[in-house]
Amino acid sequence: MGSDRRGPRLAILAFAGVIATGLAAPWVAPEPNRVDLERILAPPSSDHWLGTDGLGRDVLVRLAHGARVSLGVGVVTALLSVLIGLPLGAIAGYRGGFWDGAVSRAIEAALCFPALLVALAILSAGPGWLVRLPDTLRIAAALGFLGWTPAARYVRAEFLRLKGDEAIQAARATGASTFRVVTRHLLPRSLGPALVTIAFGASAAALGEAALSFVGLGISPPTASWGEMLFEAMRHMGTAWWLALFPGLALFVTVYGWNGLAEAFRRALEPRPSPS
């Protein structure tokens, strides 16, 4: 077991670094948009550890502020997905029959929507209160609106499995109401699946935010986002490698970190040692 634990540990350490950098950013490096006109497109040096971009802005500082966007969007999107997906999946799995059919059709409908149109509609128009929200929340809304389907499917399968569980059947046999069975027996045990879903959701949302910002629909400049930084890097391809390398690395570490967390949750949930 020794060697397969070292990789994840390293990844989790790097992920913790990203989180710490994001948390510390406003205090340590409060000015992500400060321009150093003397050093435009400067390679990494002791002044600018990870170099500067085409406007002379420090890449490391912008990375740190981009971490806030990526992590923020990830967590809020995942929470949103669980808030929508968990109740729906729970009803479908526990009640079955008509409810299962209804939720399954809703999931199919969500899968048929062009995600890009939904994102554009929520990000560019939407009702007034939505437009006035901070970028991070609006992007999370755009991603969470269709992003709840994996959560619903996962929770549905878990509840389907739990329904036949002896403890649940015993509770029902002793006369517990459906409400009591759901709130006292099923929900506490769905906490684990919810955690797994949140971590996986945050990973998908981090990629989604970067993709939206990459095509210019996400964070509005000059706010720093890894996707937007990678888009900028495309213009300096071949001349300024540091512009593309570091945002990509940060995104990789974050997505890998969320996934590692999700797998750790899942493994902790399994009472018996799995064959993996």
Footprint of another protein (CB under 8 A):
3-4, 7, 105, 108-109, 111-114, 116-118, 120-121, 124-125, 203, 207, 210-211, 214-215, 227, 230-231, 233-234, 237-238, 244, 247-248, 251-253, 255-256, 259, 275-276
Q: At its nearest, how many Å lie between another protein and the CB of residue 213?
A: 10
Our CB check for another protein shows the closer of 149 and 185 to be 149
Q: At its nearest, how many Å lie between another protein and the CB of residue 214?
A: 5
Q: At its nearest, how many Å lie between another protein and the CB of residue 105?
A: 6
Our CB check for another protein shows the closer of 198 and 243 to be 243
Our CB check for another protein shows the closer of 102 and 187 to be 102
Q: At its nearest, how many Å lie between another protein and the CB of residue 254?
A: 8
Our CB check for another protein shows the closer of 147 and 185 to be 147
Q: At its nearest, how many Å lie between another protein and the CB of residue 121?
A: 5
Q: At its nearest, how many Å lie between another protein and the CB of residue 168?
A: 19
Secondary structure, 3-state, the chain = CHHHHHHHHHHHHHHHHHHHHHHHHHHHCCCCCCCCCCCCCCCCCCCCCCCECCCCCEHHHHHHHHHHHHHHHHHHHHHHHHHHHHHHHHHHHHHCHHHHHHHHHHHHHHHHCCHHHHHHHHHHCCCHHHHCCCHHHHHHHHHHHHHCHHHHHHHHHHHHHHHCCHHHHHHHHCCCCHHHHHHHHHHHHHHHHHHHHHHHHHHHHHHHHHHHHHCCCCCCCCCCCHHHHHHHHHHCCCCCHHHHHHHHHHHHHHHHHHHHHHHHHHHHHCCCCCCC
Our CB check for another protein shows the closer of 190 and 259 to be 259
Our CB check for another protein shows the closer of 180 and 235 to be 235
